[in-house]
């Protein structure tokens, strides 16, 4: 998959998936370089499989980070109810902010 990986100032990364190629190794390298940030995933062309999404989530959960999938409300999906899905990047950023506050309070 062709991917765009951008860091956002609050310790969050934004991933946009554009086309099919093997990408999990490439993504893992990017996440390691960025010290495993929370991750927002946009997959406008539905290129990611359920297994790929779950692999990303598991990788980040091992580093106490969360993964948010951005999909429009009208988008159909057959993903697990455990996957956090929001319709806009603004809602995704709000969710990440809440998660970061929770982590800070738990320390």
pLDDT for the residue 92: 92
pLDDT for the residue 94: 93
d(CA 96, CA 93) in angstroms, rounded, equals: 5
Do 37 and 66 meet the contact criterion of CB atoms below 8 Å apart? no
Q: Provide block-wise average pLDDT over 10 residues at a time, the chain (107 residues).
A: 72 75 77 90 82 86 90 70 86 92 87
* CATH for the stretch 2-106: 3.30.750
What are the distances in angstroms from CA 2 to CA 5, 55, 81?
10, 18, 27
DSSP 8-state code for residue 10: T
Task: Delimit the domains of the chain by residue range.
Answer: 2-106
pLDDT for the residue 9: 72
pLDDT for the residue 91: 93
- Lookup: tokens for 70: 């951005």
Q: Which position has the token pair 């998936």?
A: 17
């Amino acid at each position: 998959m062709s991917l765009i990986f951008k860091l956002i100032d609050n310790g969050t990364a934004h991933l946009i998936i554009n086309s099919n190629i093997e990408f999990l190794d490439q993504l893992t390298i990017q996440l390691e370089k960025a010290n495993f940030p929370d991750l927002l995933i946009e997959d406008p062309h539905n290129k990611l499989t359920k297994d790929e999404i779950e692999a990303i989530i598991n990788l980040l959960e091992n580093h106490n980070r969360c993964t948010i999938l951005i999909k429009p409300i009208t988008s159909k999906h057959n993903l697990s109810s455990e996957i956090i899905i929001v319709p806009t990047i603004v809602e995704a950023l709000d969710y990440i902010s809440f998660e970061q506050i929770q982590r800070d309070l738990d320390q």
